[in-house]
Amino acid sequence: MRFVAETVTQGVCERHFELDVARRTVPGLLWTPAGASGPRPLVLIGHGASGSKREGYVVSLARRLVSHRGYAAASIDGPVHGDRRTDQGSVAGLAFLEFSAMWASEPTMTDLMVEDWRATLDALEGLEEVGGGPAGYWGLSDGHDPRPPLVAAEPRLAVAVLGLMGMTGPTRSRIETDAPKVTGPVLFLVQRHDELFAFATALELYEALGTDDKYLHVNPGRHGDVPVEEFEFSEQFLARRLGR
């Protein structure tokens, strides 16, 4: 893990890192309290399809967790997103299209994305100021969903906030296989008028999660209309389970 840039604003240190995973380079951001020392809970935050690790809600949630709770938070760019494309994601629709095309041609995409996140978690846990504190995951939406597979595959993720997804799309069979393997606490967020994931398919995925400790929040509005209350609630939900 190489740190390539650092800024400190309002007590929050943001570091841009690069991590080599197999033969690819994964760019990410790490947020910690300025001057942090010693282990602390860590939350991995995934962006949605066509977004990036610099997405407004990603940065906002990360800074909230650092400022309010003293946590560490991190996000990485998904394949063909953010700094993993030459245009840095300036044309959001292009990333979405290329991402979709890659899924059609690359059947191991889910595994590659899970591998990126697990390598990131390994590297972050090696930092003195993050250490082996408990970890959680927060990620909504995604063109084609690696989130249930990631949470299912990674026992270090003690809690997850998922949502804006359903039992649908090209990786449906993979989600069907992995959703029952999610056994930790989950908050699952649904937008009732989601134009990308029909309400029934979202409920179906919630139902399939293999944990009894699951919480469903359905809000009115379209895919992009997640209310600010859910970001506040996400912080509480994660903090009640990660401690500190």
Q: Which stretch binds a second copy (CB under 8 A): 5-13, 55-63, 119-127, 217-225?
A: 217-225
Query: Does 220 sit near a second copy (CB under 8 A)?
Result: yes
- Per-residue HEC secondary structure of 145-183 comes to CCHHHHHHHCCCEEEEEEECCCCCCCCHHHHHHHHHHCC
Chain residues 181-210 in contact with a second copy, contact rule CB under 8 A: 192-193, 203, 206
Query: Does 219 sit near a second copy (CB under 8 A)?
Result: yes
Output the six-digit token pair for 142. Answer: 């995604």
Strand duo 214-219 + 186-191: pairing = parallel
Instruction: Choose, by CB under 8 A, the member of 25, 37, 60, 236 that binds a second copy.
Output: 236
Q: Which stretch binds a second copy (CB under 8 A): 82-90, 108-116, 164-172, 226-234?
A: 226-234
Residue 222 Cβ vs a second copy, minimum distance, rounded to whole Å: 11
E strands present in 34-180? 42-46, 72-76, 135-140, 157-163
| DSSP-assigned letter for residue 189 | E
Instruction: Choose, by CB under 8 A, the member of 217, 238, 239, 242 that binds a second copy.
Output: 217
- Phi and psi torsions of 186, nearest 5°: -135, 130
Location of structure tokens 């408990």? 134
Q: Which stretch binds a second copy (CB under 8 A): 22-30, 45-53, 73-81, 235-243?
A: 235-243
CA distance 72 to 70: 7
Query: Does 229 sit near a second copy (CB under 8 A)?
Result: yes
Residues making contact with a second copy (CB under 8 A): 192-193, 203, 206, 212-220, 229, 232-233, 236-237, 240
